[in-house]
A = this chain, B = another copy of it.
Amino acid sequence: MTTIQIGRSKTASVSYSFDDVALVPMKRVRDAEDVTLSWRIDAYEFDHPIVMAPMDSVASPATIIEYSRLGGLAILDLEGLWTRIEDPMAALASVATGPDSVRRLQELYSTPVDPDLMVQRVRELRDAGVTVAGALSPQQVLRFHDAVIAAGCDIFVIRGTTVSAEFVSETRESLNLKDFIYQLDTPVIVGGVASYKAAQHLMRAGAAGVLVGFGGGATHTTRSVLGVRVPMATAVSEVAAARRDYLEESGGRYVQVIADGAMGRSGDMAKAIACGADAVMVGSPLARAAEAPGRGRHWGREAVLADLPRGEVAELGTVGTLEEIVLGPSHTADGTMNLTGALRKAMATCGYTSPKEFQRCELIVDRA
């Protein structure tokens, strides 16, 4: 990356967001029907690389089962309302936007997580025959992972604003990620990260997949509150470079790079893959489904933090069924429907027939 001088005592790396870049067709156009979108992580294969994020506004047991039927991987937030409340439908329906929305979310999530309910939810999903994936925050992994393992997740996700392979605390017991993954029998996806080095550490710790970015682009305000921000095009490219180097270093272990955040439109997902991602984890596009538990409202877990909330409730509205959003047909022109059709068309237009090839797609950047 280019380094520039911010005054005499400080430098900064020049970074690019998805909005800064665009795909440019430079090769022979392909037939969209020839594109295959299939994606595999560990032993699990999916029809497409669009992953439903573990957010209460999109992922309920019912939508996870439906999403699985539509060929994709969906993840349950194991610290969300479904593991706090027996029947959270009324609670979900009470979420609103407006000046008091954050305070109301904080109250809603003040009910503690119930490990028994956690086990019960995982079993519901297992009984439905789907690939079961559950997510915990790094802070809660030590506390709940026994329950989760007992329940039997197929894929385990550790997802926080920032995750490093080693968390340093002088007062609290902290997770040793490498030991944890080593002991676990299931593949672990972990993130978010924003840099080559942080990703490399997670890969060396044994992660099967690495989440790039801090998620929840539509709803989180980490930029205003912490000053932290990740221009995604650069971050994905950095982590893809870490994947490539780790592949050689490890003698062939290919770690899945999963972009997480700032992909509100199908065009953004195409850019994420073109920048080097193997898959994308999205919330807001799926929050617009008729079946979404948030009923068109969308929020992330960082919005419910008790002391320092860093997210808001976004009013997104509803555009169609989950099936129309994922598989089409589309009746809008804004990149919110037929996400897989859009990915196929983007790849074919640029001359590629698979996500892996598409990672070589030419990019342009505005001005700069």
Contacts and interface: CB of A to CB of B under 8 A. Distances in A.
Contacts of A100: 331
A357 to B, nearest CB: 13
Which residue, A268, A342, A368, has most C-beta atoms of chain B within 10 A? Answer: A368
A145 to B, nearest CB: 18
A284 to B, nearest CB: 13
Interface string A217-242: 00011111111111101111110110
Nearest to A365: B12
Interface stretch (A20-28, A63-71, A123-131): A20-28
Nearest to A299: B333
A308 B333 CA distance: 7
A331 B309 contact: yes
A119 to B, nearest CB: 29
Nearest to A350: B228
A207 interface: no
A256 interface: no
B23 A227 contact: yes
Contacts of A196: 7-8
A116 interface: no
A275 B33 CA distance: 36
A102 B337 CA distance: 12
A109 B20 CA distance: 35
A166 interface: yes
Given A1-B5, A31-B171, A15 B364 contact: yes
Contacts of A17: 366
A162 interface: yes
B226 A33 contact: no
A20 B241 CA distance: 25
Number of identical monomers bound together in the oligomeric complex: 4
A22 to B, nearest CB: 4
Contact of A368 (B4, B102, B106): B4
Contacts of A366: 14-17, 20, 231, 367
B169 A6 contact: no
A226 to B, nearest CB: 4
Interface string A129-164: 000000000100000000000000000000001111
A143 to B, nearest CB: 16
A316 to B, nearest CB: 14
A358 B331 CA distance: 43
A167 interface: yes
A365 B197 CA distance: 18
Contact of A164 (B194, B268, B345, B351): B351
Contacts of A270: 226-228
A227 to B, nearest CB: 3
29 contacts: A1-B5, A2-B5, A6-B21, A6-B233, A6-B275, A9-B241, A10-B275, A12-B16, A14-B365, A18-B227, A24-B195, A25-B194, A25-B198, A26-B198, A29-B138, A29-B162, A31-B167, A168-B351, A221-B333, A224-B333, A226-B270, A227-B270, A227-B346, A303-B333, A306-B329, A307-B329, A308-B330, A308-B338, A308-B345
Given A16-B367, A309-B332, 10 more contacts: A6-B21, A9-B276, A15-B367, A224-B333, A228-B349, A307-B328, A307-B330, A308-B345, A309-B330, A309-B333
